[in-house]
Structure 1
Amino acid sequence: MTVKRPLWAETSELMRDYYDTKWGLPEHDDRELFKMLTLELFQSGLSWSTIWKREGAFDVAFAYFDAVKVAKFGRDDFERLMNDVTIIRNRRKIMATINNAKVIQELLKNGETFNNYVWSFVNFEPQRFHLNGKQLPAQTAESKKMAQKMKKDGFQFIGPTTAYSFMTAVGMVNARE
C-alpha cells in the first residue's frame, strides 16, 4: 500500500517518518501533548523540519516534557536553556514553555488532565478535515477559540495558527488524505 503524503512530508526521510508514524494520529498522553504543544510554539516562524531535527535535544533540555519537572524550572534552568546550542534559544519561547508547564500543573490541581483540556475543544472526537487537494489552512474558527481560551487560562505563545498546527499534529483534526 502506498502512503499518500503531502509535499512537506516528502522533503526528507525524517519528515516522511514523522508523517507516517506521528502526525495527525490521535494523541492522548499528557506528556506527549505537552511536548507537541512546546514543539509547535518553538516551530512558530521556522520550518517544522528545523524543529524535528532537534527533537532529541528538546527532550533532554525539557526533562523529556515532564510538566511537573519543567514547572519547577528556575533561573538556572532558564540560563542553561538559553545557552543550549542544541535547541532553539528563544527567550520568549523558553519562558512560555516553563509557564505552560505551570498552567498544566494548575489544571491537574483542579482535577483536569491536559488531555481532557485540549480534547474538549473538539468534543473529545477527532474532527475530519477534507483537503481535496488544497493546502491545510493556517487557522480555523475552532483554533481561534482554542487559542483565545488557552490564553485566558494562562497559556503563553499560543495563537490561532499555532493552535491549529497543534490540533492537526496530535490528531484532534484529521487532515490526512
Structure 2
Amino acid sequence: MTDCHHESKLKVNFRIDIPLDVTPIRCAWCGSDPLYVAYHDCEWGMPERDPRALWEKLMLDGFQAGLSWITILRKREAFRAAFAGFDPAIIARWGEPEVARLLTDAGIVRHRGKIEATIGNARAFLAIEERESFSDFLWRHVDGRPVQNRFAAMSEIPTESAAARALSKDLKAHGFRFCGPTITYAFMQATGMVNDHLVTCMAHDRCAALG
C-alpha cells in the first residue's frame, strides 16, 4: 500500500491499495528506496496542470543536470525552503545577495549558474504568465493531452523527442536556461505530458486514465 499526497494547488490525494499476496510491478528505475518508490507511485507521470507546480519541477530538473534525480528528490524540501516555496514573483526580485546566500546553503545544490538561471527563469515565467498560462504554454507542445506511450522495456524509452526539442527551443526563446531537450523530456515524463511508465507497470493504466 502506498499513501500518496501529490502536492500542487490541485491537492490530488489518493491511496494505491495492493493486495498483500501480490508483488507490485513498477518501472525498474525507482528501485526499492521508499522515497523513490513513493515518487514513482504518486507523482511521476501524473498529469500536472498547475503553472507553479510545473515551474518548480522544471527548475528542479535544471538542478538535476549532471546529477541523479534521487539526489534532487532528497533535497527537495530544502530547495523549497531556500527558494521561498518556488514562488516566481518573489524569486524574480532576487539578486546577488540572495545568490550569495544560496551558495552557502548546504541543503541544496550550490551551483552559481543554476541558481542564477532559476532567478532569470522566474522572470521568464512571469513574462509568459502576462500573456497566457504557463501550463497552456507547455501543454500545447503535446496538443494539450498526454502522449500515451506503450513501452515494454526500459531500453525502449528515449532520452528526448521531437516535442521535447521543440519545447526546449521555445523555452530558450522566452529566456529560460538549463532546459535542453534531455531535461525537457525528463520534465515531460515526470509531469505526465508523456506517459512513459512501462505497460507492465501498475501505474501505466492509472496515468493513462487520468490523461
For the aligned pair, the TM-score class normalised by the smaller chain equals over 0.9
1:126 and 2:146 aligned: yes
Structure 1 residues 72 and 3, CA gap change in structure 2 (3 angstroms): farther
Counterpart of 2:119 (choices 83, 87, 98) is 98
The corresponding residue for 2:136 is 116
CA-based RMSD: 1.2
* Separation in 1, partners of 2:50, 2:86: 11
Counterpart residue identity of residue 142, structure 2: V
CA deviations over 1:38-62 (Å, ceiling 9, x no partner)? 1101111101110000010000111
The 5-angstrom pairing of residues 1-177 of structure 1 reads 1=18, 3-110=24-131, 112-135=132-155, 136-177=157-198
- Partner SS, residue 154 of structure 2: coil
- Cα deviation for residue 11 of structure 1 reads 4.0
Give, in whole Å, the separation in 2 of the partners of 1:39 and 1:117.
19
Shift of 1:92: 1.0
Please give the TM-score of this superposition, normalised by the length of structure 2: 0.80
Distance 1:55 1:175 in 2: 23
Tell me whether 13-22 or 71-80 shows the greater mean CA deviation: 71-80
The Cα shift of 1:173 comes to: 0.3
Bigger relative contact order (CA 8 A; separation at least 6): 1
Per mean C-alpha deviation after superposition, the further-off stretch among 132-141 and 117-126 is: 132-141
Taking structure 1 as the reference length, the TM-score comes to 0.95
**CA-to-partner distance for each residue in 1:21-77, whole Å, 9 max, x for gaps?**
111100111111111001101111101110000010000111111111111112111
Report SS of the residue matched to 1:53.
Answer: helix
Q: How many residues align?
A: 176
The DSSP-based 3-state class of the residue aligned with 2:106 is coil
**Secondary structure, aligned partner of 1:89:** coil
Equivalent AA in structure 2 for residue 20 of structure 1: D
Letter in 2 for 1:67: P
Looking at secondary structure, tell me which structure has more strand per residue: 2
Q: Could you tell me how far apart the structure 2 residues matched to 1:160 and 1:69 are? A: 27
Identity of aligned residues (%): 38
Moved over 3 A (4+): none
Displacement of 1:149: 1.3
Greater helix share, structure number: 1
